[in-house]
A and B are shown apart, each in its own frame.
Chain A
Amino acid sequence: MMLDHLEYSEEEVIGSLRFENLLTGGSRIFYKTHFSPMLMMQGKVDEMFLSLNSKSGIEYPVLMNMVLSNNAQVPTVQAVGLHMAKRNKYEKGILEAKQAAEKALKENDLLLKMKAKLERHQDLLEQQLRELKRINQEHVEFNKVLSHDMQEPLRKMQLFAGLLEDKIEKDQVGEEFGFYLKKLQGLSEYSRDLLTRLQRYHSLERRMNDFTTGNLEEMIKSAITTLNIPKIQPDVSGLKVKEIRADIPKLTWVLKELLFNAYQFRSEDKPLHISIASELIKDNYYKTVQDAYRYTDFIQIRVRDNSKGFPDIDQGNFFGLLNKFHRESGKGLGLAYCKKIVDLHEGRIELKDNAEGGSQFIILLPYLP
């Protein structure tokens, strides 16, 4: 009976066609991904709606029940089905009405939600703008303190120390006195230098260049030339994306800093190996707004090395200001500076363990075509 409807003869089906072959494409997908696993797990499935395909391609909707029986040597499936063309038409009508109602309900609900969300966001925006204004004001004042108010007393300290030094040379005070004076001079020198760097860090926003198009490979070369350390020869064969729109000089500085970092903390017992790779990937554009998602293109740059790595990589705030993690560390500003540059590109930088030993820095920058 069913075979007649499907326009097949018994010989054409039995032993040569699988049940799946009789299904329409859509039904086949749903049967194989949903009903078939259910059948294997529960041993039965009730009330499956499936569409069979006749030999000439006419749809034949059926409602089926299936039972899996493991009694025989080969597991067999027993199935009963009911042709439901008329009923299906009727149901289709109900479905369409239901869909229309659901759609209207959904849209209405969506509008109400959006309205509430908009109001919430507007309040939030007001608060944030107010806060931003305050921080900006503070920022300007702080910069003045760093660049002037604090520089001046340090300059004077050095001046007076110099005057005292003259007296030491004239042998008017004791040797011990001279020793402490040298210490004081060293410290004020260090403070002044630190202050200059902090001010540079602090005023980075204002010193960013306009974005231009650069080539990552060229930028790496330029960073190597500046460093002028023969041991730094990174493998750049993994650069899959080379063209990049960014503040090219600042980003080149970041690459230089990361290369130097790998060199500075290299292992004594093996030759330094650094690789830099890049790839176009997708990530969520929203990083601060909660429950907002839009997957957009980012350039992922991975700088991997076989250096000594960083201790407690999961805990440390390696990009914090003045944080030092090695005894040989500099002033603890390099990575903070890198982070700030990447942040100003609306990107992210992370430090992770390198499975082959050493560390890896991962930079994500929005892809700007």
Chain B
Amino acid sequence: MDTLKRNNVKVIGKGDQVIMFAHGFGCDQQMWRYITPAFEDEYKLVLFDYVGCGKSDIEQYNEDRYGSLHGYAQDILDICTTLNLKNVILVGHSVSSMIGMLASIQQPYLFRSLILVCPSPCYINKSDYIGGFEEKDLQGLMEVMENNYVGWASFLAPVVMKNTERPELVQELEESFCSMDKEITGNFARVTFFSDNREDLPKVKVPSLILQCAEDDIANEKVGAYVHANLKNSVLKPMKATGHCPHMSHPKETIKYIQQYLQSENIVA
């Protein structure tokens, strides 16, 4: 199995130190396009799509594997192993913050630091924790997604059709930005938003930077503070940027804070 093809891995940049960018739920590696130019000259940049997202090889999707965030973490670890990456700086957006943390717990020796853009260990409110959403909101998310994919061929349909040898019915996924398959995205949403990874935070040994947006509806400021309080060696940076995708809406500010953090790290090292 070809990991680089499976995850649509792209390696760019002129440097040696590796920065790996992991996209969040609902999108693909293209979301980093405003960030990468600032690091191309000095770093080696690794970009990829999780299996089932963007231009990854959808045939490699395995429900058992990707029914757990650990399966997604395995994508990151597989890429590191295949490219023999070490001392990796991992930038993860949204759910990829958590996926990155899980990867670093499994193989801490691979990572130098984690840059967590809008992280949340748990999106659902619990008796002693405010994640921001109720279970019914997440049920609502499933419905909204279902409604948005009325006209789409689902992932399983083509697979089944291929089995019944009717290739003429196989439909290509729409080739647009953040294109996604209904079935896979539904599973990804479930595993993203129903997971509770709060217990994993203290297990992270790698130093980290938390970028916290203002008015983030997905991961609010309290959640950011919670992550910071439970993550050893973490720096919390509140941003002026609003929303949940500062790397797209406010790339300059995002780049500035990442650079600042990497510089401060160099001084310590």
Residues of A within 8 A of B (CB): 18, 20, 24-30, 32-34, 36-38, 40-42, 48-51, 61, 88, 91, 94-95, 99, 102, 105-106, 109, 112, 240, 279-284, 291-295, 300, 302, 314, 352-355, 360, 362
Instruction: Tell me, yes or no, whether B236 is within 8 Å of chain A by CB.
Output: no
Kindly list chain A residues whose C-beta atoms are within 8 Å of the C-beta of B65.
284, 291, 293
Known: A33-B27, A51-B143. 5 other contacts (CB 8 A): A18-B215, A24-B144, A28-B218, A34-B26, A37-B27
B178 x A41 contact (CB < 8 A): yes
Instruction: Tell me, yes or no, whether B31 is within 8 Å of chain A by CB.
Output: yes
Q: Among the listed A95, A112, A284, which residue makes an inter-chain contact with B150, where contact means beta carbons less than 8 Å apart?
A: A95
CA of A18 to CA of B242, assembled, Å: 12
5 closest Cβ pairs, A-B complex: A25-B137, A26-B140, A33-B26, A26-B141, A34-B26
**Nearest chain A CB to B54 CB, angstrom units:** 12
Q: Which residue of B lies closest to A47 (CB)?
A: B148
Most chain A CB inside 10 Å of its own CB: which residue of B112, B141, B249: B141
Contact residues of B: prevailing secondary structure: helix
Q: Among the listed B84, B109, B139, which residue makes an inter-chain contact with A360, where contact means beta carbons less than 8 Å apart?
A: B109
Kindly list chain B residues whose C-beta atoms are within 8 Å of the C-beta of A314.
84
Instruction: Tell me, yes or no, whether B203 is within 8 Å of chain A by CB.
Output: yes
Q: Among the listed B67, B177, B203, which residue makes an inter-chain contact with A42, where contact means beta carbons less than 8 Å apart?
A: B177
Kindly list chain A residues whose C-beta atoms are within 8 Å of the C-beta of B178.
34, 37-38, 41
**Nearest chain B CB to A63 CB, angstrom units:** 9
Q: How many A-B residue pairs have CB under 8 A?
A: 151
Kindly list chain B residues whose C-beta atoms are within 8 Å of the C-beta of A99.
146
Residues of B within 8 A of A (CB): 24-27, 30-31, 33, 62, 64-65, 67-68, 70-71, 74, 84, 86-87, 94, 102, 105-106, 108-109, 112, 133-134, 136-148, 150, 154, 156-157, 159-160, 163, 176-178, 180, 189, 193, 203, 215, 217-218, 243-245, 248-249
Q: Which residue of A lies closest to B163 (CB)?
A: A109
Given A28-B217, A32-B243, A48-B148, residue A41 in contact with residue B30 (CB < 8 A): yes
Kindly list chain B residues whose C-beta atoms are within 8 Å of the C-beta of A295.
68, 70-71
A284 x B25 contact (CB < 8 A): no
A30 x B31 contact (CB < 8 A): no
